[in-house]
């Protein structure tokens, strides 16, 4: 009971702190994968969806939206922290239009990656198509606000990119194509080249405030730990080492791009060590379960395997770092967003 009370007040304390910081960003514009997809996959033909219970059970009204969590995702909290709005809509959701998108929109697609081959695995939106949607959005925004106001609006908006884990866990390691073509360090360089060119294109289209996320300790995701049963279901350190190496290369690229592109404010937000701290010291954050997820048995369920018929789903997701075997709970998303907002993203305030 004491842990539950502590967890609740800790969560409320962080929420109040974030609200007290004023905004200097008119919109949060998002690209990436399931970490930041609020429901675009609902509108495409793919098996990777989450627009059904128990997903969204702690969201506003208890409604599943297509977010891969029990509630809100990190970008929702970042938008709220900037004083914009409490949730960022999916670009493909027909319930919204340019009036909604003007203050924040997500083009992200669960299951996608930098590599086109990654999006092919589960037939989701490739990363390049997110840029196509962004250009379409820009045209709509100029029609809504006028050219000059829209251009200024875009230059002041935060463009946030969160992607990359699927390239390794859904593509490079499970299938032989890329791993036979590249040693892992060269694959990292290949992906960062795609990321760098994406940022250059955003810059050429008028974006000036850009944040790109690094990789989490992906060897500690419950699904990966389940496959490591011969070693006590410990984190797969090989995967964690790859994440750390990728993050260093990404940071080096960010440094170079800041030199190359005049007037850009480009930062890398690194979730690795904050999430690892939560995993290694869960009691400090009010968590009780780190190796398994809330939904189902917590070992392997995700998407359609995490459904309302599963009798093993936990009653209190705030005790868990992970909601399903691959994605964080709303509470974890909030802590990671709060950390990013108060560290890396301070340059935009």
* 69/321 Cα distance (integer angstroms): 11
Least confident of 277-286, 307-316, 321-330: 307-316
Task: Tell me the C-alpha distance between 201 and 137, whole Å.
Answer: 15
What are the catalytic residues?
Answer: 34, 324, 327
Domain extent listing, the chain:
28-271
Is pLDDT at 282 greater than 70 in this prediction? Answer: yes
pLDDT at 8: 53
* pLDDT score, position 303: 85
Is the per-residue pLDDT at 165 higher than 90? yes
Query: 21 falls in which pLDDT band (50, 70, 90)?
Result: very low
Across 107-126, average pLDDT: 98
pLDDT at residue 23, as a whole number:
46
Q: What is the pLDDT of residue 331?
A: 98
- Partners of residue 32 on adjacent β-strands: 162
Is the separation of the CB atoms in 156 and 206 below 8 Å? no
Residue position matching structure tokens 């398994």: 292
- Selection from 342, 333, 344 nearest residue 247 by Cα: 344
CATH of domain 28-271: 3.40.50
What's the length of the chain? 349
How many angstroms separate the CA atoms of 286 and 331, rounded? 10
Q: Please, what is the angle between helix 2-19 and helix 74-81, to 10°? A: 50
Mean pLDDT of the chain: 93
The yes-or-no verdict on residue 13 having pLDDT over 80 is no
**pTM for the whole structure:** 0.92
Distance of CA 88 to the CA centre of its chain: 12
DSSP at 90: B
231 pLDDT band, cuts 50/70/90, is confident
Give the dihedral of Cα atoms 153, 73, 85, 54; nearest 10 deg: 140
Query: For the purposes of burial, counting CB atoms within 10 Å of the CB of 265, is it exposed (0-12), middle (13-18) or buried (19 or more)?
Result: middle
Average pLDDT on 333-342 reads 98
């Amino acid at each position: 009971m004491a842990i539950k009370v502590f967890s609740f007040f800790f969560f409320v304390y962080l929420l109040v702190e974030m609200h007290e910081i004023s905004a200097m960003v008119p919109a949060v514009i998002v690209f990436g994968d399931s970490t930041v997809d609020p429901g675009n996959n609902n509108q495409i033909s793919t098996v990777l969806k989450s627009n059904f219970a128990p997903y969204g059970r702690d969201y506003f009204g208890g409604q599943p939206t297509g977010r891969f969590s029990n509630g809100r995702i990190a970008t929702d909290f970042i938008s709220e922290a900037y004083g914009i709005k409490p949730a960022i809509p999916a670009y493909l959701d027909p319930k919204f239009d340019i009036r909604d998108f003007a203050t924040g929109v997500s083009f992200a697609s669960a299951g996608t990656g930098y590599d086109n081959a990654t999006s092919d695995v589960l037939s989701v939106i490739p990363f390049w198509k997110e840029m196509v949607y962004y250009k379409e959005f820009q045209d709509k925004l100029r029609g809504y606000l006028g050219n000059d106001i829209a251009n200024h609006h875009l230059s002041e908006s935060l463009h946030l990119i969160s992607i990359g884990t699927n390239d390794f866990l859904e593509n490079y390691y499970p299938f032989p194509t890329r791993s036979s073509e590249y040693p892992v360090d060269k694959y990292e360089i290949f992906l960062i080249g795609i990321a760098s060119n994406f940022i250059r294109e955003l810059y050429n289209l008028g974006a000036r405030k850009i944040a790109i996320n690094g990789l989490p300790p992906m060897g500690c995701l419950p699904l990966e730990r389940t496959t490591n049963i011969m070693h006590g279901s410990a984190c797969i350190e090989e995967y964690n080492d790859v994440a750390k190496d990728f993050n260093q290369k990404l940071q080096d690229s960010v440094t170079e791009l800041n030199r190359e592109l005049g007037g850009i404010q480009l930062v890398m937000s690194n979730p690795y060590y904050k999430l690892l701290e939560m995993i290694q010291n869960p009691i400090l954050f009010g968590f009780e379960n780190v190796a398994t997820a809330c939904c189902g048995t917590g070992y392997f369920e995700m998407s359609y395997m995490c459904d309302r018929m599963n009798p093993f789903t936990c009653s209190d997701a705030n005790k868990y770092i992970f909601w399903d075997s691959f994605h964080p709970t709303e509470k974890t998303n909030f802590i990671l967003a709060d950390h990013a907002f108060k560290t890396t993203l301070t340059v935009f305030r």
